Homo-oligomer: A and B are copies of this chain.
Amino acid sequence: MSLLVVGSTAFDSIETPHGSKPELLGGSSTYFSLASRLFTKTHLVSVVGEDFPRASRMLLEERDVDLSGLETKPGKTFRWSGRYSADMNDRTTIDVQLNTFGDFKPKVPHQLKSVPNVFLANGSPATQMSVLDQVSQPRFVVADTMDLWIQTDREGLGRLLSRIDGLIVNDSEVKQLTGHTNLIRAGRAALAYGPKLVIVKKGEHGCFLFSQFFHFALPAYPTEVVVDPTGAGDSFAGGFMGYLANCDTINLGNMKRAVAYGTVTASLTVEGFGVDRIAGADRHTVDRRYQELLQFISF
């Protein structure tokens, strides 16, 4: 089954201990779809400026990402620049220029309104909700969010959470959302906001998956060289949603496998600058790494 992602498209300038790279193709919808396309047909809804180059468009289209929902508006594409600390666990935003993404009003093209699986990448709850108002009863909707919306629009976020099936957040976000410092408690408490499924990402420490009926912990893939952590979270979501989109039923076993595939696609992304590594990956690489991950955690 096909998959719709709504999020940002950007150019990132990134400094890590491995080097500096200007103007790399990035953004949540890009990282997500370059991961999810390894599993299923992915339709991208986003916005770029007139400066968005043909090469970037080609990179996505050649990997079977449908760009019929990628709007081009007068002005420039979203720019972000940031610097990572020596251990890669902290990053500082140096500059943000929202440009055409500043007043992003996602428009889901008519032919995509019935796509059954939807991922709402990080955005204001109002923007995310506007997508749900445009699509027709998807079978599975998952959203990301961030500290900004937890702080500034808790009410809107609450309404969004009551309308989605799954929430993907990182450890600090789920603590902030729920007020619990213990991650297990925080993850379980987040279920009370509505989603049937809460995934808590912990970077190099893997992730937790919480539902009313089970909890599950998965370590990260044992990556030895992290070159650039940008996009890890969106690539995780892409692998997760991409795998599940192709499953007939969203059950426990499939969710665990999906989380493992998300772990694998995130591990590929961080091993290269920008989208280099994930854009170059094929399903064979992903499946081999999936088996390695299972080996790493097999009891």
Contact = CB atoms under 8 A, between A and B. Distances in A.
A216 B299 CA distance: 8
A217 B297 contact: yes
A71 interface: no
Interface stretch (A29-37, A60-68, A128-136, A222-230): A222-230
A87 interface: yes
Given A202-B205, A205-B202, A205-B205, A184 B299 contact: no
Interface string A199-217: 0001011100000001111
A181 interface: yes
- Please tell me how many copies of the chain the complex holds: 2
A219 interface: yes
Given A205-B202, A294-B299, A299-B260, A182 B225 contact: yes
A27 to B, nearest CB: 27
Interface residues of A, number: 33
Nearest to A257: B299
A105 interface: no
Interface string A224-246: 11100000000000000000000
A270 B69 CA distance: 51
Nearest to A187: B222
A73 interface: no
Contacts of A183: 204
A107 interface: no
A277 interface: no
A139 interface: no
B182 A216 contact: no
A47 B217 CA distance: 40
A83 interface: no
A172 to B, nearest CB: 11
Nearest to A225: B182
Contact of A299 (B214, B226, B256): B256
Interface in A245-261: 256, 260
A187 to B, nearest CB: 9
A164 to B, nearest CB: 24
A156 to B, nearest CB: 28
14 contacts: A87-B181, A182-B223, A182-B226, A184-B223, A184-B224, A185-B225, A188-B224, A205-B206, A215-B296, A216-B298, A217-B296, A218-B299, A260-B299, A297-B299
Given A86-B181, A206-B219, A294-B299, 13 more contacts: A88-B181, A182-B224, A184-B222, A185-B225, A205-B205, A205-B206, A214-B295, A215-B222, A216-B296, A218-B219, A218-B297, A256-B299, A297-B297
